[in-house]
Structure 1
C-alpha cells in the first residue's frame, strides 16, 4: 500500500546534525528563505503521497488544510471540531449521532453541511475508491444526513474506537481537486512543488481563529544530512531530529529543543514463511540476545525506553506480562538454540539440518537511526551464533522483499489499541503492503483482535488486548527494540507550543499539530 509506505517513511527521523553555518534568526523570527521573512518553514523527511483525507492523508488529525468532526488534544482526549459537541451514542452502541458546528465554511466559501461528511466517509468505504484506510471503518454500515447539521453513523456492531476515528478530515461533497485541495482548516493550499515543498496560507476566516503564522511551508528533505544542514543554516524554522543529533543544537541561541514521549517503536519484522525466520526458536533466541537497554543508552542517548511489544507501557492498555529487563541474555539464547538443534559451526554460525541460522535484515538506507539499530542487533545476534546480513535499501526495493527478508520497521499509536494492530497482525491483512508484511497467521490472535474491535465493554476489550500482546510476544512475531522520544528543534520564541504523546506518523502532527495557535514570544 502506498499509504503504508508513507507512514513507514515518515518516521525516518535520524539526522546527523552539524554546527550552524550562519547566525540564527532572532527569537520569533522565521527563516530567511523558502518564501520570505514572514514564512515559517517546517522540514520533514518524507513527501506526502497525496493531500486527500479520503485516501488516508493525516487521518488522525495533524492536517493544516482539513478539520475532522473531532480533534485530538495534547493529552490525547478528544474535543469537538466540526461537530459542535461530543456525539450521542445509542444504548446498543450501534448508532452515533453528531451535530455540526454552525457557520463553518470551506476555503472556497461553500458552507459545511452534513452532506459533505456523508460524502467523505462514503467515499472511504466505497471499494471503487480503494482507500487504504477503509479497514478502519469496517464497522460502519452507512452514514446518513437526516438534515443539514445532523450526521448519523449506523454501525454493524458496537465499535468503541469510532469516535476516535472521526478525526478524519472532511472534504466537500463531490470531492477535491488534487491540484488545489479545499478544506475547512486553519490553512489554505497555495502550491505544491513536487519533490520540494507545499506552501500554505493562513485562513483568515477560520472558525477557530486566524493563525498568527501567516505563511507556512512544509519542505521535504529526505536526506538526513541535508535536512540537518538546512536547519543549521537557518533555512528551516523547525524539524524533527533523533536524540543524539538534537543534543548538538541544545543551548544554541534562538533554538529550542523539545522532547515528546511517544508510542512510536522500532522493531524487526520477521517473515513467517522462510525456514530460518519462520522458526520461532530463532526469533526468540534473537530477542534474548538483543541488548535493548544499550540501544537506548547509546543510540538514543537515553531518549527512549526498551520495547517488548507494540503497546506503550505508558498507556492503560499495556500488558505488563510482556515486559523484560532490556538486557541481553546471550547464554539463554544459546541454550534455547542448542535444545532446538541449532548447533554452532566452525565459523561460529549455528546450523540445523544443513541450514545456517542466517537471514537478511533490511532497513531504509536514508534512515541512520534504523541503520544504527540494525547494526547493533546484528552484532548482538552474532554472539549467539545467528548471522544477520544487513541491506540498506530504498522503500521501492524493500517492499517486494518483505515476505522473505526481515525488516527494521516502525509503527505505534498511543490511542486505541485497535489502531495499527489489527492491520499489522490480523491474518486477513497478510501481505497487504506494509500491513502484516510477514504473512503472520494465528487464529487466536485474530479472535482477540476481533473481540477488542467489536466489544463495547472496556473490561472485555482490555482483556482481549492483553491476550493479544501475550500471544504475539510468545510467537515473537517481531522483536521490538525501543520506544522513541520524538525530538523537535524550533527556531524562535513561541507561546502555545503544547507537548503531547506522539504516534508513529507525524505528518504535520506531533508538536506541529497546533501550529495555528502558536504566537510569537514566550
Structure 2
C-alpha cells in the first residue's frame, strides 16, 4: 500500500544536503499570518506550513500531494479495519530522543483533546478506534470501520514527543514544546513578524541546504516584492499577480507556479430562518432568509462572471471553478464546468423565488489572506448588484473572519472564503465544508454556513468507507454533483500558487501552498 513517489523527494534532499556546506541562510517573506504554531491547534495552511519545518508526519506528501514515506517507512492494510505502520530506524527528535510508536500514539490522542480549536484536526482521527503498540517501531491502528484514507489522513497530523501530549498551546507558543523530528529546529517566533529556524543536521532525510531559515511575515504585497528586489529577502510566496510582468522582466528573478488545491467560494447561511445581514431593498427585515432557497443561491452563482474575474483581476493566474477541486486531483468531478454567466437567468430565478426586486446583502471576506481577495469580494458585489441584489462588501482581516464567522458566533450571512484540500483529494472539502456539522465525528468542521443535506452526508460517509479507489472516486464525484445541484456553495476560482526567488535560487512549487525552506535550492 506504500505509494512509490518518494524517490524524487529523497533525491532532492540528497542534493540539498550536498550543497549544505556552501549555503548559509535563507530568508523568505510569507504572505499569510499564522494564527498558531501549536501543530494540532488550528488546521490552517500558514500554520501547517510552519509546523512542517519542525514536525514530521507519519506519511509525507510530495509537491502534487502524492503520498511518500515520512516517519513511517512503510504501511499496509492488514484488514479493512486494521493498518500496520513501520517506523524508520534512526529518526530522532531534536533533543536526541528516538521517535517511537508511543510518540505517534500520544500525538493521535492529543489531536481531539486540544481545547478551543477554531479549526480542529479531528476529522482526520475520529475514525480511529485504537492504537496498538507492537514494538517501538511498529504500531497497529484499528479503525471503527473501513478507512482506506487513513494514510492520507495521517499525512496531516504532526508527530510530537510523548511528553508533550498534555502540553497547552501556550507551551508551543513559548517554544518550550517546539521539539519535533523535522528538518529544522525551532529557535524563535515573534507573532506578526517572523519565525527563525536552525538546520537539523541529524535529519533522517538529509540535512537541509540552509544553516538558518527566517520566515518573515509580510502580508502586504508591495512590501514583499520590494524586499525581494532590494535583496532583503531571498524568496517570496504569493507573488502578487499585478506585479508578475514586472518581476518577469527583472534580471535574476525567477517565478515558480503550479495549480493549487484551493478553491475560492461564497459560503451561505442556510441554517437560520432569519439571517443578520439580509434585508429588503428599503431596509426593512425580511420574513424569511432568502439564502435558504436554492434558487437564490443559484441566482447568485449565475450572476458571477468568473471569466472576467480570472482574466481581469487574476491576469489568468487562476482557473474559473465549478466544483471543489481543480482537474487532476483525485475525486474532482468532471461534470462541473464553471457555471455560465447569465444575469438574465439570475433575475428570473430571483423572481421565481419571490424576490422580483431583489434584496440587500452584506458579504464579508478577508483582505489579507488570499491573492486579490478584497478585489474579488468587491467585483462579486458589483456583479450581484447588477441583477438586483444590493450588495455591500465588507473586507476585514482574516483572523476576524475566523473568530466571528464560525462557532459559536456565526456572525455573517455570506462569506468569501477559500479551502485548500490538505489531503489532495475531494473528501477534504466535502467533509470539512459541506457535511452536516458534527464535531464528535469530525464532520463539517469548517461548515460556516451550517449547510445540511442528509443525502449528501450519506454519500460522503459511504465514500470515506469505500476501499476500492475507483468506487471511492465515483462516490466523491457524485457527492460534489449533488452538492452543486443544490448550490451548497458558489465556487468562483481555483487558485494558482506562485513563488518568486532571486540569486539563482530555485523552488519546487507545491499544490498544497506550503512554503518549505528545505525545497529551496541555492545556486552552486
Q: TM exceeds 0.5?
A: yes
Which of 42, 51, 61 is the aligned partner of 2:28?
A: 42
Correspondences of 1:301-340 after superposition (within 5 Å): 301-324=315-338, 327-340=340-353
- In structure 2, the partner of 1:138 is 126
CA deviation after TM superposition for structure 1 residue 186, in Å: 0.9
CA deviation after TM superposition for structure 1 residue 198, in Å: 1.0
Distance of 2:436 and 2:56 partners within structure 1: 33
Distance of 2:41 and 2:132 partners within structure 1: 21
- In structure 2, the partner of 1:79 is 68
- In structure 2, the partner of 1:436 is 447
Distance of 2:219 and 2:522 partners within structure 1: 29
Residue 456 (structure 2) pairs with residue 445 (structure 1): yes
Determine if contact 2:508/2:520 at 8 Å carries over to the other structure: no
Distance of 1:220 and 1:276 partners within structure 2: 40
Residue 481 (structure 2) pairs with residue 473 (structure 1): no
- In structure 2, the partner of 1:499 is 509
Residue 303 (structure 2) pairs with residue 289 (structure 1): yes
CA deviation after TM superposition for structure 1 residue 434, in Å: 7.0
1:310-338 Cα offsets, whole Å, 9 max, x none, are 122232412222224x5411122222223
Correspondences of 1:9-158 after superposition (within 5 Å): 38-56=24-42, 63-85=52-74, 87-91=75-79, 93-126=80-113, 132-158=120-146
Determine if contact 2:83/2:140 at 8 Å carries over to the other structure: yes
Deviates more, 1:400-409 or 1:72-81: 400-409
Distance of 1:487 and 1:127 partners within structure 2: 33
- In structure 2, the partner of 1:208 is 205
- In structure 2, the partner of 1:255 is 253
Name stretches of at least 5 consecutive residues in structure 2 with no aligned partner.
1-15, 17-22, 276-288
- In structure 2, the partner of 1:172 is 161
Which of 377, 394, 404 is the aligned partner of 1:374?
A: 377
Determine if contact 2:81/2:144 at 8 Å carries over to the other structure: yes
1:56-107 Cα offsets, whole Å, 9 max, x none, are 566589711111111111242212121222x02113x211111111111111
Distance of 2:63 and 2:398 partners within structure 1: 31
- In structure 1, the partner of 2:280 is none
1:235-258 Cα offsets, whole Å, 9 max, x none, are 222112232233321121221111
Name stretches of at least 5 consecutive residues in structure 1 with no aligned partner.
1-27, 29-36, 344-349, 352-356
Cα 1:475–1:322 shift into 2, 3 Å? same
- Compute the RMSD of aligned alpha carbons: 2.6
- In structure 2, the partner of 1:270 is 268
CA deviation after TM superposition for structure 1 residue 214, in Å: 1.0
